Structure 1
């Protein structure tokens, strides 16, 4: 089970260099809006708390997320990082597996092709209860974790650029 307690993600946040000039673009879905809006609130709390500029765009569903990230970049929105926000809850058909695999593969492709990191914050859960456990419950707040991950990846990218 992925549990933030098994990670060092929350350590060393104070040591992240100032990123006030950074821009993080969040792409969120309309499906399961209450859950996704809370993921967004968590990410914005972390990012804006560090003075990082943000911009949010909304797409209909999880499959459209990766298109939106790619189009933002192509349109000249040179974000330092992108965060994908969504929630796919298992239903009674194989649709769940197709959507989850498509968005996962899409985010992987973005990370391999864009020079800015794309952070995966799409909950793929069996129940609504499991989603809420990831909004500040027993599994932490995945939106906040996505914000922290974006900051760490921006710092990582800048460190590499400074060394070249």
Structure 2
């Protein structure tokens, strides 16, 4: 569903599993750092809210969104990590770079998830301009980081 029609911070918290023993990997792109830090805070706070232990949440940073797949792989290959959440921002520019980056990240994250048989969550904000990114990082459309964390918890429930 298009985020213009939905607040990304609204999710169904019914029937969430106990995540107190689960280990989470957060991979956060440094490009557009102010926005990605806000996404990360949303994800982290949501995990804590639902019972994750702070010591079970590992944050790794990568240079940009293109590197999210590799960062995810480094975490996913660990038997100790139960789920990986990837957070980044790609803002359309004057060239088509955004198409290539978004496609590569989507494919890479999917491959990592299938290779390691564990959830790797796509928390990539893809927008036409910076304001739209902020709208999805705690603005009028909620916070994609919250949505990514809720998705991670739901996916862990499927894996049990």
TM over 0.5: yes
* TM norm structure 1: 0.87
In structure 1, distance between residues paired with 2:111 and 2:141: 27
In structure 1, distance between residues paired with 2:69 and 2:126: 16
- Give the aligned partner of residue 46 of structure 1: 46
Is 2:11 aligned against 1:10? yes
Deviation readout 1:85-113 (Å, 9 max, x if unpaired)? 10011111121111111101111212222
Tell me which stretches of 4 or more aligned residues in structure 1 moved more than 6 Å: none
Highest CA radius of gyration, 1 or 2? Answer: 1
Q: How far has the Cα of 1:10 moved from its partner? A: 1.1
8 A contact 2:76–2:84 mirrored in 1? no
Q: Which runs of 5+ in 2 are unaligned?
A: none
Q: Which runs of 5+ in 1 are unaligned?
A: 159-164
8 A contact 1:48–1:54 mirrored in 2? no
Is 2:117 aligned against 1:115? yes
In structure 1, distance between residues paired with 2:2 and 2:116: 26
- Give the aligned partner of residue 106 of structure 1: 108
Q: How far has the Cα of 1:14 moved from its partner? A: 4.0
Where in structure 2 are the equivalents of 1:78-89 lying within 5 Å? 78-89=80-91
Aligned length: 155
The root-mean-square deviation of aligned C-alpha atoms, in Å, is 1.8
In structure 2, distance between residues paired with 1:100 and 1:39: 17
In structure 1, distance between residues paired with 2:129 and 2:6: 22
